[in-house]
Chain A
Amino acid sequence: MEDRSEVVRMKGITKVYPNGIAANQSVDFSVRKGEIHALMGENGAGKSTLMKILFGLEQPEEGEIVINGEKVVLSSPNAAIAKGIGMVHQHFMLVPSLTVAENIVLGMEPRKRGMFLDYARAVSLTEEYAERYNLQVDPHAKVMDIPVGMKQKVEILKALVRGAQILILDEPTAVLTTQETTELFRELIHFKEQGHTIIFISHKLKEIKQITDRLTIMRAGKSMGVFDTADVSEQDISRLMVGRDVVLKVEKEPPSPTDTVLSVTDVHYQNEYGKQMLGGVSFSVRKGEILGIAGVEGNGQRELVEMLFDMNQPDSGAIEVEGRPVAGKGQAYIRGLGVSHIPEDRMLYGVAAAGTIEENLIADRFQKPRFNKGPLFKMDAIHEESDRLIEDYQILCRSGGQQVKMLSGGNIQKVVVAREFSCAPKLIIADQPTRGIDVGATEFIRRKLVELSREGAAVLLVSADLNEIIELSDSLIVFYGGEIVAYFEDTSTLTDLEMGEYMLGLKRQSPEEIRRVIHA
């Protein structure tokens, strides 16, 4: 059982977050010396949590960690670094105005004459490691001026300079262009030849097949097993990754869609790093239907949703609600068109946490005549509205005067939903409407969403939860690489396997098939 060549062995790791979500449930994970090991799974499968534990950023409730045969407790990143573990975070931990060399030596600066920074030494150290590992960086360039690919190399060098033998790379290719990715892979193979061990978090099948030796698949906080990459097919991986444990059934009548409410036409967008996030997206949503957007996160869904609510603007293309363009019009105007929105980040956009439930419930309608009499609020009308919504949406609280931050996650989301669903919306944009909340609230929100769509609202549902997206949506589009790669007019016959293949970029429908989602 005990494998001599194992450098990392995590046994029975269980991690429960304060909000009650068990991110890791008795997970076993091991990595052999000198291999490139992929850690795969959908968003929320628990792979980031597992790696945070390995890097000392989170402490597990149960389980043990063995590094090079020695049982260790990793209480901080420094402890992990001391054991030869290095992590390259998805969001770079770099200081933009410092040079590459300065970033690399930060916290372990070489000195000269006791008190001065030996910059020449910092540069030579950088060059020495850059050469040894064949990572081309310009030590004198400021980090803010270098491309993303080079920033990543700086992050890798930071870990290597600190003596990392085991490198954790958290979705390293998410921000890279194709050429940069190819280069990164060449470098990774070079590390491997030098005896380093690499843990590679990803959900891109092609990349995994291309460079990893073994892979571990996680789903819903559990390990689905360890495989030799050569022995599993892409279809197998996809099945293990995206399958559903329990198939959820939502009772709903068949849709009878009518007029188009939202039309998105040929939208392009590049983010500030110059990476194309949306490459000509077109679709429409009609009254009375729920259109789902499925896809692994980071494939352009977030950018699209931001544009629908004018939190960002497309480089080209048009977004119209009932024929009226929304870009640059401001949120008040868009809400005036009858658009409501459940934001992905509910604590930032969904609620004013220090405000009361009542104050949060009226945020979009406090200027309406029915709540005002001359300069004053009609407090009766406001209390009535608030009490009605609290009851209709079953918000568990003492009174409308309670602060939102004192509520549980599910009830906070119900506050958001109560506000956004009760303004007679023509179009509802629901972005991850049930993420991280309890079963009762989840069920309630899903039922409401179906109800509203059957009453004639157009619903655009974005969700990383496969159960939710398949069962709730009437029809469904799949995003991959900033484009729509599939359109399923009827979700009732759709299987997980089929979805997985489109979501992970293994398959793609013809342009004609996709174009059916544009209802003139």
Chain B
Amino acid sequence: MRKSLKFEIIRGAAAILVALAVAMVFIFIISDVPFQALYNLIVAPFTRMRYIWIILERMIPIIFTGLATCVMFNANQFNLAGEGAVFFGGLVAGACAIYLRLPPVLHAAACIAAAMLVCGLTMLIPALLKTKLGASEMVSSLMLNYILLQLGVYILSYHLADRTQGATMSHKFLDTAIIPTLVPKTNLSWGIVIALVATVLVSIFMYRTRWGYAIRMIGINQSFSKYSGMKVAATVVMCQVVGGMLAGMGGAVEILGYYDRFKWRQLPGYGWDGITIAILAKNNPIFIPLAAFFMAYLRRGCDLMQLNTDVPAEMLSIIQAVIFLFFAAEQFLSKYRHKLVVRDAKDEIAGKAAEKEAKGVEA
């Protein structure tokens, strides 16, 4: 076990190095000031406290989408609607923040709860289509992303828009709904705390409850789970609903913590980041904040690189894709793993032989 963990760490590091090497090649081709660009990408994010607050800020929504992906991928459900759910969750929370009248804290909580409810129910569409009709949850969830986007923009333009503003954006949120700032003079809100609490809760859910257990077993071996008497279809639906709730919560927390009006007119991309993060965390919720930190750091590095040099921030998507591809590659460095496993097995056999001998003496 320990050796395979060590191997995973080495492999992860190798994947990141490959990605950075690829980025370096591009930077040297593109940039007139390649070393400055690299400095901005890798070192600069840690040079000022303010940058670190920004990294923490950017972690908030992607922790939620990462957790959502974790829950769904653990049951082998390739539901990719986290993107749409995070958007729509933000919208629902925004609407509640404008129209509900509640005391502070309670109001924010109600907004978040509403977002979770709506997004959870939305996920019933791909989930039930899968379990009742056998339609691929992947295709239907991809379609759902676009539906949620257009529906959301429609609601924003026709029902929430503040006509006094130049651009399309909603009315101002009531102060009672705003998630307050955690660190003064930054945009880092209490959302980060909520995200970390959510991480702990999801980890408990996945590893310490009967539902999380069933999700994981179904992901490992569905035939075994059915044979053992688990309710496979219900669990498959449940994990997608939970995934939707988490993504919706992410959208809500992001909107109420970072903005004072709802103004998204595009899918924010957090859903896809969430998938990357889940892959980096090997679908283990406990590692999600770590992976989210890494992604947010990369994003900050790319932003700084764009700000201070001639390399565009979209370099991120190339780094992200390369890391993603190598992290998920089972055969990447497999020869090395094989060596480790063989060594492990040899140790074990030797140990067992010794044990047997001891037992033989006893008998």
Contacts and interface: CB of A to CB of B under 8 A. Distances in A.
B228 interface: yes
Interface in B186-241: 204, 208-210, 213-214, 216-217, 220-221, 223-231
Nearest to A343: B227
A355 B216 CA distance: 9
B49 interface: no
Nearest to B213: A366
B227 A376 contact: no
Given A352-B225, A376-B204, A376-B208, A403 B220 contact: no
Contact of A353 (B208, B220, B348): B220
A373 to B, nearest CB: 10
Given A359-B213, A372-B210, A377-B213, A352 B221 contact: yes
Contact of A332 (B1, B210, B229, B352): B229
Nearest to A351: B224
Contact of A311 (B210, B214, B227): B227
B32 interface: no
Contact of A396 (B217, B223, B226, B352): B352
Interface string A194-209: 0000000000000000
The B interface is mostly helix, strand or loop, or mixed, namely: helix
B314 interface: no
A377 B216 CA distance: 15
Nearest to B344: A406
B357 interface: no
B355 A396 contact: yes
A55 B355 CA distance: 42
B96 to A, nearest CB: 27
B1 A401 contact: yes
A107 interface: no
A223 B9 CA distance: 51
Contacts of B230: 332, 363
Interface residues of B, number: 23
B356 to A, nearest CB: 9
A355 B229 contact: no
B223 A377 contact: no
Nearest to B222: A352
Given A351-B221, A353-B220, A355-B220, A331 B227 contact: yes
Given A352-B220, A355-B217, A402-B1, A367 B210 contact: yes
A3 B226 CA distance: 57
A375 B209 contact: yes
B229 A331 contact: yes
Contacts of A174: none
A349 B204 CA distance: 27
A335 B229 contact: yes
B227 A349 contact: yes
A366 B210 contact: yes
Contacts of A343: 227
A335 B220 CA distance: 21
Nearest to A378: B208
Contacts of A311: 227
B150 to A, nearest CB: 37
B227 A403 contact: no
Interface string A363-375: 1101100011001
A439 to B, nearest CB: 12
A354 B223 CA distance: 14
A520 interface: no
8 contacts: A331-B229, A335-B228, A352-B225, A353-B220, A353-B221, A363-B217, A366-B210, A377-B210
